[in-house]
């Protein structure tokens, strides 16, 4: 509450005093300036310019024009009162070919971003990879190739040298599951390839890249910085306790969650995943020492959560499964069911209990690992009314329910240190283009005018109070 606010404090779900209140964005979704100051195409530039890949032919060429409106957007964050801002670095902006020296103009943009955040009293949280692989590295084979992981380690070292004295928290990867299995498995994300083998190879090389980046960051930063990884873990629910449905959930958990959790935290591949995918690969691309590298200790785990996943056993079929699938080793055995309840504009079910369940699972499976909600939010079909107001009560309800779930998880012993609302701005929503709005700040893409939605005002009050009414 502000000093001028004389209303009684009716906060009932109070968060710890040092809880980190943030918001998040990603470079390709907001920056624009796609060919300025030495930046070269990423796989998302190529993918979005390919006819039929992105709704309405939208691209991130301009997006929310954050590259030119950086100071304006930081002013919005100050109005919100956030303590932290999670952004991503565009790899092709600072190292256009994915090899060799950095482009200083690209580094200067992120130096200015970080400096202005610090001047505003906002803690910078930098993500090294949010899906924008330099196209030249994809042309050389992309994430299914070991070399890409090695190049990523070199890129991490560049960024540690450029910003290591000013960025307190570094996240290596954002949602490697989406990048591996949607990008290389069923092709709905860049680079649009459809190969179960390529998706599994990519997943492994993401784990290796993460470990190499941790090593590079530790070497370049010393001991004072926090290093993290962000995963979009699936809150998997079997439709029943029947053995076949339980096995369906196990398969999705293996290829959706443990494909990253087990190598990173335990230095092993899930044995059941190896068995499930035996018809695809023998995993011989995993070399000696890879898993030890992947399991380099980190300081926290970021969790992105939007909705639960409900599964059941697929009915027996004599027909081979041929459709491209992101679920290598599970596609013939699992069917996905709609969860009950209201839906967002993405047609995703709204169920905050899934977040609570996920946090308690991690409390039990990864004791001693601090957790941070690095993305949570919802898209709705909101718009500026004739008076210029943007009313989004569904989003407020969604956020309230999910923050309450986080608070309940903390009370139940989960070590949750912060919450980053997705997203600060309406932006380029990947294959949906500009048709879906996740922001708490409305962006008129024709004029680039920013307008606080009701949800932004609500979030500012939550931050000021340190909890929920």
Q: Which residues are catalytic?
A: 175, 375
Residues sharing a CB contact under 8 Å with residue 364, sequence separation 6 or more, in sequence order:
none
Rounded-to-integer distance, Cα 265 and Cα 244, Å: 28
Edge-to-edge order in the sheet of strand 334-337: 236-238, 309-313, 334-337
């Amino acid at each position: 509450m502000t000093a001028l606010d004389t209303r009684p404090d009716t906060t009932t779900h109070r968060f710890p005093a040092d809880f980190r209140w943030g918001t998040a964005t990603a470079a390709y979704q907001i920056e624009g300036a796609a060919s300025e100051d030495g930046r070269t195409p990423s796989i998302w530039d190529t993918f979005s310019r390919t006819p039929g890949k992105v709704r309405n032919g939208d691209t991130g060429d301009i997006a929310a024009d954050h590259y030119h409106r950086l100071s304006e957007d930081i002013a919005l964050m100050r109005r919100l009162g956030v303590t932290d801002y999670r952004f991503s670095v565009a790899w092709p902006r600072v190292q256009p070919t994915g090899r060799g020296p950095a482009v200083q103009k690209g580094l200067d943009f992120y130096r200015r971003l970080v400096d202005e955040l610090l001047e505003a009293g906002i803690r910078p949280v930098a993500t090294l990879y949010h899906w924008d692989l330099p196209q030249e590295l994809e042309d050389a084979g992309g994430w299914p190739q070991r070399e890409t992981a090695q190049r990523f380690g070199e890129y991490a070292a560049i960024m540690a040298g450029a910003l290591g004295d000013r960025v307190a928290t570094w996240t290596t990867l954002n949602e490697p599951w989406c990048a591996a299995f949607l990008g290389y498995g069923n092709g709905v994300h860049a680079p649009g390839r459809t190969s179960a083998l390529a998706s599994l190879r990519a997943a492994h090389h993401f784990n290796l890249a993460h470990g190499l980046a941790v090593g590079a960051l530790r070497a370049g930063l010393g001991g004072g910085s926090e290093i993290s990884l962000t995963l979009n873990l699936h809150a998997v629910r079997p439709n029943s306790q029947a053995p076949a449905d339980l096995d369906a959930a196990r398969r999705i958990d293996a290829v959706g969650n443990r494909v990253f959790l087990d190598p990173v935290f335990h230095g092993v591949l899930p044995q059941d995943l190896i068995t499930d995918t035996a018809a695809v690969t023998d995993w011989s691309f995993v070399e000696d020492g890879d898993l030890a590298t992947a399991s380099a200790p980190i300081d926290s785990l970021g969790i992105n959560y939007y909705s639960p996943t409900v599964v059941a056993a697929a009915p027996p079929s004599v027909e081979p499964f041929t459709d491209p699938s992101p679920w290598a080793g599970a596609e013939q055995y699992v069917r996905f069911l709609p969860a009950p309840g209201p839906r967002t504009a993405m047609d995703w079910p709204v169920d905050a209990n899934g977040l609570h369940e996920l946090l308690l699972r991690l409390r039990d499976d990864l004791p001693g690992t601090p957790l941070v909600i690095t993305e949570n939010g919802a898209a709705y079909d909101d718009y500026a009314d004739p008076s210029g107001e943007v009313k989004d009560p569904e989003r407020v309800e969604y956020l309230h329910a999910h923050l309450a779930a986080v608070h309940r998880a903390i009370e139940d012993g989960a070590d949750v240190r912060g919450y980053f609302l997705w997203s600060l701005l309406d932006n380029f929503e990947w294959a949906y283009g500009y048709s879906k709005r996740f922001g708490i700040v409305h962006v008129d893409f024709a004029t680039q005018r920013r307008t606080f939605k009701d949800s932004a005002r609500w979030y500012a009050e939550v931050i000021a109070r340190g909890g929920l009414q």
